[in-house]
Amino acid sequence: MRKSISIIIPIYNSEKYIISCLGCIVSQTYPNTLIECIIINDGSFDNSAELSKEFISNYKGNIRFKLINHKTNKGLAEARNTGIKVATGSYLYFMDSDDHITNNCIEKLFAATELYPDADIIVGNSINKKNNSIHHNQEDYIYFNSRKQILSDTLMLIYTAFAWNKLVKYSFLTSNNLYFYPKMKYYEDLYWNLEIAQHINAIVYIPDITYIYEFTDNSLMSTINQNWGKVIFSKIELIRKAWLLYNEEYEIETHLFIGHQIYQILSHPNIDKEVRKMISTERKDLVKRVLLFKHPLLLLYDLLLFNPLRQITKFRFYRSRYMVIRLWVYHKTKKN
């Protein structure tokens, strides 16, 4: 039996990209009668809403479009929550207005639900157009039904931290009240995924590329330095969320996750004294946990990662190397 889907697309000053984005929706090979496309105009002050309305009025197919307007800009989290509340599909799919999906995206994702009907989420493969990197390179489906494994992968940033390119059961989200945290203006996807990982029963990764991430002026990474105050707030919220998960079962993964967030905040050149003082306290608490649980590799990792040793030795982490080091510490510590 074919399943219905609601594709949720928040837009904010997206006039450069929205027509191309909607074009890949109407090109889907999945039956159009089962596709609903919900566009949330989140207080745009350009022509995004007008262009969307014109596109819909000229469209002659069977996809059901809904255009919802927020009078003011409420942020990506609130826009997605609006989409969830009005969606009628049995599955949801989030995408960003400046990205694209392949023509067979929805068909490929739904094919996995036939093989794994118990999966709450199907994750497609994606390509980053900035450097042509692919998210995962497996050649077959990967199936996890261990909540511990899924939460561990999320904390280690192995599981994709984005909301987009995931086919999600509507009933799974709503029955567990898994809405986005409205106060988060950055990293709301990661916060949401940490929530999801605590409830999920099964997840599937498919090998097919279904999503094309376009690095544009609207992309998160391109605006992050312009809004550092909101970024710090969001990272502090992530730290608080992770502390709630810090127990003996997830101690190593949580420690590395919190350390990653703290390091990024303390490394920023424009951090003010009050924030530095607060985050330094978090760092001390992290070191105390290492001493309590007696993990020498984690302690060495912390000494390398944080001041003063890092400044004395001029040691610096680059993102790719940093991830490799984190994974090495994780696996070595788990083995011991």
The residue extents of the domains of the chain are: 5-214, 222-335
Q: How far apart are CA 244 and CA 254, in angstroms?
A: 9
- Give domain 5-214's CATH architecture: Alpha-Beta Complex (3.90)
Q: State the pLDDT confidence band at 323, using cuts at 50, 70 and 90.
A: low
DSSP 8-class letter at 164: B
Six-digit token pair at 306?
A: 């944080």
Taking residues 205-230, what's their average pLDDT? 72
Tokens 């940093």 correspond to 322
Look at residue 241 and tell me whether its pLDDT is greater than 80.
Answer: yes
pLDDT at 209: 92
**Looking at 87-96, 100-109, 164-173, 257-266, which range is the least confident one?**
257-266
Instruction: Determine the residue type at 16.
Output: K
Q: How far apart are CA 270 and CA 258, in angstroms?
A: 20
Q: Considering only residues 271 and 190, tell me which one the structure prediction assigns the higher pLDDT.
A: 190
**Looking at 4-8, 57-61, 179-183, 250-254, which range is the least confident one?**
250-254
Six-digit token pair at 198?
A: 């605590």
Look at residue 308 and tell me whether its pLDDT is greater than 80.
Answer: no
Look at residue 169 and tell me whether its pLDDT is greater than 80.
Answer: yes
Say which residues have a Cβ less than 8 Å from residue 171's Cβ, sequence separation at least 6. 90
pLDDT at 216: 61
**Looking at 69-83, 127-141, 170-184, 211-225, which range is the least confident one?**
211-225
Taking residues 250-270, what's their average pLDDT? 83
Tokens 């904010």 correspond to 12
* SS3 category, 144: strand
* SS3 category, 64: strand
Q: Which of 167-181, 232-246, 268-282 has the highest mean pLDDT?
A: 167-181
Instruction: Determine the residue type at 312.
Output: I
Look at residue 82 and tell me whether its pLDDT is greater than 50.
Answer: yes
DSSP 8-class letter at 185: S
Q: State the pLDDT confidence band at 320, using cuts at 50, 70 and 90.
A: very low
Predicted TM-score of the model (pTM): 0.88
Taking residues 135-154, what's their average pLDDT? 84
Look at residue 66 and tell me whether its pLDDT is greater than 90.
Answer: yes
Residues in the chain, overall count = 336
pLDDT at 140: 85
Q: How far apart are CA 171 and CA 169, in angstroms?
A: 5
Look at residue 226 and tell me whether its pLDDT is greater than 70.
Answer: no
Look at residue 200 and tell me whether its pLDDT is greater than 70.
Answer: yes
Taking residues 55-83, what's their average pLDDT? 95
Look at residue 277 and tell me whether its pLDDT is greater than 90.
Answer: no
Look at residue 186 and tell me whether its pLDDT is greater than 60.
Answer: yes
